[in-house]
Structure 1
């Protein structure tokens, strides 16, 4: 192949250089024109984002302490807002979880931080990612500490669940003095859960929501005696109560004692219900209506006393945000969380002289080794007992109105 003469090579090289210069000039003109347009339209070029990381382990530990300290050491108001209890109650709970629940901190995380993380999650229904940012922990650490505290708290159930005491003959409480030997009130409530497609039919309640039906009994001072979580939302309250009486750790109702229940349950020994077909709810009596029969007067007094379980459920859901929404936890874990929330609720009601959450509400016994009620069966004797109690209430009320 013939070689290109040297003179021709020089001409080609010179032509390429000229073309390259022209291209560069055009590019520079375009860039300058774009910059001029940006300046005219007042568009600011964003600055590059810079991320600041802790340079050492010591700085990370300092940041965690500074983040936790205002919550548990700053003031009772901050502690109540974030953890739903004051500082003294918080440290008492930490002591119980350490001594009874066998919860231990480690070299990287104190026991107080673990408990604060758990209570913060229950109170505000925070997701794992948000909790990571707030406590400056990894997602795995947040999840592990949450489950450790949950397990330790459930180990304390035998201490935190209230022992029922019956209403005595000399009771002066106007709501309860008629119900001698009553242990408290009993009812069921629903909490939202997330389930798989094959379980949606069973967990869909009559309102169309996916829920779990939780049976609970409480004392007169709004502390839980017994909880049975985990049942499907479609299960009837009577069915859940039958299970509670027959399981390995049953709801204990000694012979001669009873709980107040609504009309959704069977009126039988151990469970006293209102009369059907008669006025019952408190909203009716608050409008100034007066009872006109023994059955209606009994229903009014029954509603006033049994309302304690409704207030107890309302306070529980108001205190713990995680119970008001559908969470991403597995439904078995949700059942444990519900029980844990009730246990901490009892702890707060016991060790705090004043429960500030109670003012926000709007109205709407030792283990007995003797015979307990194990089956639900209606009887003429129990119906007669209810009727006699209603007649006694009504006659006494009439006498006080017409001296």
Structure 2
């Protein structure tokens, strides 16, 4: 009996040691240093702690018998940061593939649940704004545009998701503030659908994009110039690289386009930062540091669309809770904040062009050129 008892005791000890052994990778991934934490999960340790606390207290994420909340969150962030497969995470974290998948989807669902907390509220540009990019656009809320994110779809669906460049992708509508924080995301449309069509769908939804009367977003020439959406003059110089060559605007339309492009470029920088931060959103043309070429996401379309939204929400979280974002330096500097818009105001519900809006744009262009 004594021999039998001594044989059973190491099993209990082995179980305890196994639990801490499996957490060893989490310690090296997150807790070793801020530098390692940022490289591996895209945020420093302080922001990581705040995220775990928020997901647990507000989102309802809970520890399981074998895995604490911080390990679930670290696993999720590690996957979307570096676009890693289940079997790779299984090896690193010493977990089964089923456990990895369950933890990933648990964190994904909780992040999506925090939409109302993490999406930025509308903040119009004030008349006394001193920002050289935005001071011309009083009551502007920010900028919007569409971007393609490559995905995997069944063969029968590929024609619908094929873009003009021949890629298989989804067309995501992104709306951001001048501070490069997202206020609205609509993902899921096929890559063959035009940006204008996606915008029409966004403003027609019950809980879609809200544009209060008197406010507007900057859009590119691919959208209709109408109330709520200010587009540049067509047939005039517009892109920033044309102005960097030393050419000076010679008409109100060209000057307006130059200032419009300078401000609207915030959405392009926002997309660039989003894809630099989260490897799961990168197209196959992006090479990682060690030279490995990644294929599109391994997840089904519906899951991948939720991942896109989660990445945008976490992007907002990082910009709110990290005073210094090393990745941000690659796409531009942080911009100032403005006043908050009341969500109860009536909103624009169509995007039909109007003479009044075109006249106002011309008046604004003349005013900018004269000053």
The question of a shared fold, defined as TM-score above 0.5 by the shorter chain, is answered with: yes
Correspondence list, 1:29-68, <5 A: 56-68=14-26
Offset at 1:337?
Answer: 0.1
Aligned position for 1:391: 366
The structure, 1 or 2, with the larger RCO (C-alpha pairs under 8 Å, 6+ apart) is 2
The whole-number CA distance in structure 2 between the counterparts of 1:391 and 1:142 is 59
Unaligned runs of 5+ in 1: 1-54, 397-403
The whole-number CA distance in structure 1 between the counterparts of 2:361 and 2:20 is 65
Deviates more, 1:302-311 or 1:63-72: 63-72
Query: Does 1:130 find its partner at 2:100?
Result: no
Aligned position for 1:356: 326
The whole-number CA distance in structure 1 between the counterparts of 2:34 and 2:270 is 24
Conserved? CA contact 1:259–1:270, under 8 Å: yes
Conserved? CA contact 1:100–1:155, under 8 Å: no
Aligned position for 2:6: none
SS in 2 for 1:370: coil
The whole-number CA distance in structure 1 between the counterparts of 2:31 and 2:85 is 24
The whole-number CA distance in structure 2 between the counterparts of 1:370 and 1:69 is 48
Aligned position for 1:318: 276
The whole-number CA distance in structure 1 between the counterparts of 2:161 and 2:15 is 47
Query: Does 1:237 find its partner at 2:195?
Result: yes
SS in 2 for 1:56: helix
Query: Does 1:380 find its partner at 2:350?
Result: no
Offset at 1:366?
Answer: 4.4
Aligned position for 1:222: 180
How many residues in Structure 1 have an aligned counterpart in Structure 2? 341
Correspondence list, 1:256-295, <5 A: 256-295=214-253
Offset at 1:367?
Answer: 4.7
SS in 2 for 1:68: helix
Aligned position for 2:32: 74
Offset at 1:85?
Answer: 0.2
What is the RMSD of the two structures over their aligned residues, measured on CA atoms?
A: 1.2
Offset at 1:63?
Answer: 1.7
Unaligned runs of 5+ in 2: 1-12, 284-295, 334-339
1:56-109 CA deviation, whole Å, 9 max, x = no partner?
323322222222112222110010010000000000000110011100002210
The whole-number CA distance in structure 2 between the counterparts of 1:284 and 1:185 is 21
Conserved? CA contact 1:212–1:229, under 8 Å: yes
Moved over 4 A (4+): none
Q: TM-score, normalised by structure 1?
A: 0.83
Conserved? CA contact 2:150–2:170, under 8 Å: yes
CA pair 381-156 structure 1, distance change in 2 beyond 3 A = same
Q: TM-score, normalised by structure 2?
A: 0.90
1:313-346 CA deviation, whole Å, 9 max, x = no partner?
0000000000014111000001000000000000
Offset at 1:370?
Answer: 2.4
Aligned position for 2:299: 329
